[in-house]
Amino acid sequence: MKNKPAFAVAVTGFSGIAAQVILLRELLVTYSGNEMTIGLILSAWLIAEASGAFSAGRRLERSPRKLGYFIALTLLFSVILPVSVYYSRFIRTAVGAAPGEGLGLAAVAVSSLILVFPAGFLHGALFPAGCGLYSRFRVKAAEENSRQDIISRVYVMEIAGTVSGGVLVTYLLIPYMNSFEAALAVIMLNITALLILAGSRLPFSVSVRRVVFSALLVLVFFPSLKLMRGLNEKSAAFRWPGQNMVYYGDSVYGNLAVTETGGEFTFYSDGVPVISVPFPDTVEIEDFIHLPLLMHPDPGKVLVISGGAGGVINEILRHGVKKIDYAEQDPLVIEKVKEFSAEPGPGELDREPVKLHYRDGRMVVRETERLYDAVFIGFSLPSTLQINRFFTVEFFRQAGKILREDGVLVIRLPGSLSYLSEEMRDLNAALLGSLENVFEYVRVFPGDGLNIFTASRSPDSVLVSARKSRERLDRIEGVKVMSPEYIRYRHREDRAEDFYRSVRGLSAELNRDFSPIGVYLSQRYINSKFSPGTNRFLDFFTGYSPERAYIPGALLIAVFGAAGYFSKKPLDTAVTFCIGSTGFASMIFDLTLLFAFQAVYGYVYYWAGMLIAFFMGGAASGALLARKKIPVAGAFGNLAFLEAGVIIFAAGLYLVLKIPVDDLLSGPAASALIHACFIIAAFCAGGLTGAEFTLASDKFPAGGRGVIRRAGVLYGADLTGGWVGGFLGGAVLFPLLGLPGTLLVAAVLKAMSFLFLLYCGAVNNYRGSAS
Amino acid sequence: MRKITRRRFLFYLIGVAASLSWVKYFIENIRGGSSVSEFNDTRTGATPPARVEPEKEAMFYEKAGGGKVRCRLCFRECLVPEGERGFCRNRQNTGGRLYTLVYSRPSAVNIDPVEKEPQHHFLPGTEMLCFGTAGCNFRCRHCHNWHLSQRSIEEVGSYMKITPQAAVNLAVEKNIPTVSFTYNDPISFYEYVYDTARIARRKGVRVLFHSNGSFRPDPLRELLKYTDAVTIDIKGFSEKAYDNSEARLDPVLESLKIIGLSGVWLELVNLIIPGLNDSADEIRRMCRWIKDNLGPEIPLHFSRFSPAYRLTHLPRTPVSTLEEAFRIASEEGLEYVSIGNLPGHRRNSTFCPACGNKLIERVHFEVRSNRIRNGKCPGCGHKIPGVWE
């Protein structure tokens, strides 16, 4: 291999994306998280990387042992990764949670930072170490100028590794390996790269080296594989102490675990129990199914979106329904229900009226030609963008189109018969308003634990008396809770009146695909249980009004003005800020495209991977273009141009998101066009980011601080910006402002950095002419 | 050694200060802001600045010098400084006197079947008018009414103004035979419970309360004078089980003895939580204690756990565990054992301990038939303890 450092650096890129995905998946199971959690975990990784990059850049600049450092950092990183995976399964106990206790956002933020910091720090340090390595191997001249483009070369190579890593992780590691096995794959690849890098220093011939290294790899691999499998089993069982684990595995949609105790099976999706057979929560299921269906004169065709297995289908079948379409996106769930569970689990799914669809429920709704008497949404809290898609005005409209005139849509939300807390009220009010925006008749059955919402265009299947429902009891058999007395109890008007009195008059924003207020309100509800103080932090942002922006705005201008004026190298300061703010903006763009795609098409895993790959590909292309095509003399002007480009891109994306996509989605040609638009947008966003970074690192002189240190500063700034974007975007901006609002925030920030760049350029010119 | 410049020093100082502030903030909020401290942090992180005005002086407290007061209502005996509140969040020291903040301020008023308490031997098939408000002296991680019990009255936000007299009048108006104090623990709104119970007794309305039982003896004895029935939660029979509620077992056992001697109708409920209090040994020790100290006729309800509040990652209690608990209790000689939160199970119902006949058929909270006549089994004439009329 001729370009050994290039391969080593590319492997570093691969290792980084693999480590992020592996740890993210593990922590999502630990925390049972949503997009806010993803934002916190990724931002923890980024700040760890930034710290590593900053620290290593300073140390490595003058160190003669650049190869040694690179090898040591790579080995340390490789060992730390499986250790981090192991401890991710214990971290809840480490922060003081009781067995079975969930964690709030604050605890997630702290614990995820502690957990990912070692691996992230080491990986961040590998970027300047890679620059040092490259300068040692590939650049013979000691002149500063000829070393200047090292940063951009290493950046491009690392991106190449990241892109190929993203593809390999998506299609190979995650579907076929557990987290420890995937970590082992990373370790072996890193060892291979190091052997290739350092092997030439050994006094053996090439063929002898090949034999020895191959033997070494085999000797390391097989015992390590056995060790990793043992660690996986042991640490997975720790999550469910005292229970007999019969299955633990991952699909592309998440983690599934099945435990058994005394012949009863509990299915956990990302750590949360979702199915219990053969004794499910009878009250919950019978309420959910029979209260609405007993109001319908004759339900013949029913659609269930998620949550049908484990008793729900069984209850629907009692009504003599002719057709049940059940959409469950993850086939692994159904496979394991059939394999492991007890009745009513397997039997209900094999009955003749039931047809399974292993697809996103929203796609099923969009594409079906059937008309249904009832559509049941099995989710009960729109706490993730993925689930929120089934609680939006846009979805309700789609569902309305596939319901007969007297058909009924049924959803559930957290509730209480004793008292509705503020968070519950807000969430219920928003969803009630969203339903009433689409359906003329909406009725709520308040319940202990869950409120049931029924919505229809006709009063005949919603505004039905208890007496009528009791009369229809004859058509079902074998129910446990549903009785004439129970139906009278659940139809009590005082309960419904109390509920409406609680929620009426609350200013309720509608829940929409691109303005997912349901996610924000769900997060507030979750926070009220686990970390109420976090809601005060979020309230700070909801209390914001433009009139209050003047003082902080003036302060901000003063701070920037002083920073530029008093800085010894104002242009360096401005360039670093540009890179940092573009890091923020590019994270926002990345997340916007992923979330928008998710909102429109559902969690189509491979396409999400493609979007990331095209983003990184755009970054590599932009970097190459900036290296070759832009002269040093034009650096300032071109950077300003790119800054303006980012602002225009943010504004353009904002306008595109305003287009009602649902109306355009019919037909394969339109769908293909929209897919292409997402890919082009991802590529352009990446291109702008890559070009800016290369421009900043290549064409602006590093000066006395040295190339490697400058690499650390710029990379660290990029990562820090990405960290802020991930943290703030995921936790606050997206749920609160929606996608378009968040893009405006990114555009405003870039406008600030653009103006700051011009200002610092002017200060720099003034000082140059004055001297 | 590298020279430290002023800029570098300032940078490090700001960084350390910011880091410490964040760490402090996060640590305070990791557990929802609540703490076991005797009198600090009784507000959660979400408590708004405005506070409810104290209007009614509390019962059962004494002055402790230095402006502090010692509450004597429950086992915690909080020492409360001026301006602070006790652990339950409902009793505040203002000017050297202890006041209750929730008197006549119920947040939840509902009509529920008496079986929901659970009470199986007290006026079966009737309804009760239930009152609850904010605050609690326990911190159970699985509380189903956490949005009331684990918050201060300010955080709960909305409450009604219903005096004790009005509460009893409401029950009379609606022809409901019993008022009940439930949802959050009545210890934390003792004065309201006490005054309402006294008026209810005069008006012929029965009084029931559902508690964790951690009273101090004097307040308990005083309240029992005006009480007709009590449901006590036994969280478990070990300190580990009570750690989940940041409480202790011993005070509960003392209270049970007092109630047992008072003649007030008592039923017990034990929510079995997987991995926390479900060991056969623990259940056996509990059943043995109940029989030895309270007698074999005390009804004991084993309840099935379902994920709630902060305990969201545990499975539901296996039915086999509940049935094993039933078997142990029967072996230890307890005569009226039932299984709850498992609708349709045979042991939702009440059976005669002498002849085995089904006396009250029950599914969940609904009584479908009641064959008890004059307090006796219609089959063998065995006297069934309870309050039947």
Any idea what the CATH number is for the domain that residue B190 is in? Answer: 3.20.20.70
Q: What is the mean pLDDT of residues A479-506?
A: 92
Task: Check CB contact under 8 Å for A273 and B316.
Answer: yes
- Determine which of A121-125, A319-323, B48-52 has the lowest per-residue pLDDT on average: B48-52
Given this model, what pLDDT does residue B228 score? 98
Which parts of chain B sit beneath pLDDT 70? 1-4, 7-8, 11, 22-50
pLDDT at position A223 over 70: yes
Query: In this structure, which amino acid lies at residue B194?
Result: Y
- pLDDT-derived band of residue A627, with 50, 70 and 90 as boundaries? confident
The answer to whether position B202 is within a domain reads yes
Given this model, what pLDDT does residue A56 score? 83
Indicate the residue of B30, B141, B316 with minimum beta-carbon distance to A95: B30
The answer to whether position B89 is within a domain reads yes
The whole-angstrom separation of Cα A611 and Cα A616 is: 9
- Determine which of A90-99, A573-582, B86-95, B170-179 has the lowest per-residue pLDDT on average: A90-99
Residues in B closer than 8 angstroms to A447, CB to CB, are none
pLDDT tens for A734-769 read: 877 888 888 988 998 899 889 888 888 888 777 776
Residues in B closer than 8 angstroms to A419, CB to CB, are 107-108, 132, 145, 147-148, 156, 183
Q: Which residue has the higher pLDDT, A4 or A541?
A: A4
Q: What is the mean pLDDT of residues A680-698?
A: 86
Q: Which residue has the higher pLDDT, A340 or A465?
A: A465
pLDDT tens for B171-186 read: 999 999 999 999 999 9
Q: What is the mean pLDDT of residues A187-199?
A: 86
Indicate the residue of A266, A485, A528 with minimum beta-carbon distance to B315: A266
CB A695 within 8 A of CB A635: yes
The values of phi and psi at residue A381, to 5°, are: -155, 120
Report the residue of B25, B30, B111, B156 to disrupt the A interface, i.e. the one with the largest count of A CBs within 10 Å. Answer: B30
Given this model, what pLDDT does residue A548 score? 55
The whole-angstrom separation of Cα A83 and Cα A460 is: 60
Tokens of A470: 């009791």
The answer to whether position B19 is within a domain reads no
Given this model, what pLDDT does residue B35 score? 34
- pLDDT-derived band of residue A636, with 50, 70 and 90 as boundaries? confident
- pLDDT-derived band of residue A42, with 50, 70 and 90 as boundaries? confident
Q: Do residues B175 and B305 share a domain?
A: yes
Predicted-complex ipTM score? 0.90
Residues in A closer than 8 angstroms to B28, CB to CB, are 533
- pLDDT-derived band of residue A628, with 50, 70 and 90 as boundaries? confident
CA distance A154 to chain B (A): 30
Q: Do residues B181 and B300 share a domain?
A: yes
Q: Do residues B199 and B92 share a domain?
A: no
Q: Do residues B79 and B173 share a domain?
A: no
CA distance B44 to chain A (A): 7
Q: What is the mean pLDDT of residues A541-551?
A: 57
- Determine which of A222-236, A462-476, B195-209, B295-309 has the lowest per-residue pLDDT on average: A222-236
Given this model, what pLDDT does residue A681 score? 87
The answer to whether position B303 is within a domain reads yes
The answer to whether position B384 is within a domain reads no
Q: Do residues B90 and B150 share a domain?
A: no
The answer to whether position B215 is within a domain reads yes
Chain centroid to Cα B4, Å, comes to 59
Task: Check CB contact under 8 Å for A532 and B44.
Answer: yes
Task: Check CB contact under 8 Å for A279 and B342.
Answer: yes
CA distance B91 to chain A (A): 21
Tokens of A81: 């990764």
Task: Check CB contact under 8 Å for A273 and B30.
Answer: no
Tokens of B10: 């300032």
Tell me, yes or no, if B279 comes closer than 8 A to chain A by beta carbon.
Answer: no
pLDDT at position A276 over 60: yes
Which residues 403-432 in chain A show a CB within 8 A of chain B?
A: 416-424
Residues in B closer than 8 angstroms to A531, CB to CB, are 29-30, 32-33, 45
- pLDDT-derived band of residue A201, with 50, 70 and 90 as boundaries? low
Q: Do residues B82 and B114 share a domain?
A: no
Indicate the residue of A106, A281, A481 with minimum beta-carbon distance to B26: A106
Q: Which helix (H) or strand (E) holds A377?
A: strand A372-377
Tell me, yes or no, if B306 comes closer than 8 A to chain A by beta carbon.
Answer: yes
Q: What is the mean pLDDT of residues A439-449?
A: 95
Given this model, what pLDDT does residue A699 score? 66
Q: Do residues B161 and B84 share a domain?
A: no
Q: Do residues B304 and B257 share a domain?
A: yes
Task: Check CB contact under 8 Å for B111 and A494.
Answer: yes
pLDDT at position A538 over 80: no
Residues in B closer than 8 angstroms to A262, CB to CB, are 318-321
Which residues 57-96 in chain A show a CB within 8 A of chain B?
A: 95-96
- pLDDT-derived band of residue A543, with 50, 70 and 90 as boundaries? low
pTM, entire model: 0.88
Q: Do residues B278 and B338 share a domain?
A: yes
CB A455 within 8 A of CB A399: no
Residues in B closer than 8 angstroms to A279, CB to CB, are 316, 318-319, 342
Domain count, chain B: 2
Most confident of A98-112, A669-683, B250-264: B250-264
- pLDDT-derived band of residue A471, with 50, 70 and 90 as boundaries? very high
The answer to whether position B8 is within a domain reads no
pLDDT at position A144 over 70: no
Among B76, B100, B124, residue at a domain's last position = B100
Q: What is the mean pLDDT of residues A184-190?
A: 91
pLDDT at position A229 over 70: yes
Q: Do residues B91 and B145 share a domain?
A: no
pLDDT at position A398 over 60: yes
Tell me, yes or no, if B363 comes closer than 8 A to chain A by beta carbon.
Answer: yes
Q: Do residues B85 and B199 share a domain?
A: no
Tell me, yes or no, if A535 comes closer than 8 A to chain B by beta carbon.
Answer: yes
Mean pLDDT of chain A: 84
Which residues 135-164 in chain A show a CB within 8 A of chain B?
A: none
Indicate the residue of A102, A110, A419 with minimum beta-carbon distance to B148: A419
Pairing of the two strands A354-357 and B127-132: unpaired
Query: In this structure, which amino acid lies at residue A246?
Result: V
- pLDDT-derived band of residue A59, with 50, 70 and 90 as boundaries? confident
Instruction: Give a three-class secondary structure readout of chain B.
Output: CCCCCHHHHHHHHHHHHHHHHHHHHHHHHHCCCCCCCCCCCCCCCCCCCCCCCCCEECCCEEEEECCEEEECCECCCCEECCCCECCCCCEEEECCEEEECCCCCCCEEEEEEHHHCCCCCECCCCEEEEEECCCCCCCCCCCCCHHHHCCCHHHHCCCCCCCHHHHHHHHHHCCCCEEEECCCCHHHHHHHHHHHHHHHHHHCCEEEEEECCCECHHHHHHHHCCCCEEEEECCCCCHHHHHCCCCCCHHHHHHHHHHHHHCCEEEEEEEECCCCCCCHHHHHHHHHHHHHHHCCCCCEEEEECCCECCECCCCCCCHHHHHHHHHHHHHCCCCCEEEECCCCCHHHCEECCCCCCEEEEEECCEEEEECCECCECCCCCCECCCECC
Q: Do residues B137 and B264 share a domain?
A: yes
Indicate the residue of A272, A486, A528 with minimum beta-carbon distance to B46: A528
Report the percentage of chain A scoring pLDDT > 90: 33
Host domain of residue B123: 108-348
What b/e string do you get for A212-234 counting C-beta neighbours within 10 Å, with b at 16 or more?
Answer: ebeeeeeeeeeebeeebeebbee
Task: Check CB contact under 8 Å for A533 and B157.
Answer: no
Residues in A closer than 8 angstroms to B143, CB to CB, are none
The answer to whether position B16 is within a domain reads no
Tokens of A63: 């160190």
Tell me, yes or no, if B275 comes closer than 8 A to chain A by beta carbon.
Answer: yes
Given this model, what pLDDT does residue A472 score? 95
Given this model, what pLDDT does residue A679 score? 83
Given this model, what pLDDT does residue B22 score? 64
Indicate the residue of B130, B313, B368 with minimum beta-carbon distance to A101: B313
Q: Which residue has the higher pLDDT, A337 or A698?
A: A337
Which residues 62-101 in chain B show a CB within 8 A of chain A?
A: none
Task: Check CB contact under 8 Å for A100 and B314.
Answer: yes
Beta strands (DSSP E) in A182-300 are 244-251, 254-261, 264-269, 272-277
Tell me, yes or no, if A99 comes closer than 8 A to chain B by beta carbon.
Answer: yes
Given this model, what pLDDT does residue A738 score? 83
Which residues 173-232 in chain B show a CB within 8 A of chain A?
A: 183
CA distance A556 to chain B (A): 18
Task: Check CB contact under 8 Å for A272 and B313.
Answer: yes
Tokens of A149: 């483009």
Residues in B closer than 8 angstroms to A535, CB to CB, are 45-46
The whole-angstrom separation of Cα A431 and Cα A412 is: 10
Q: Phi-psi category of A410—alpha, beta or left, where left has phi over 0 and alpha has psi -120 to 50? A: beta
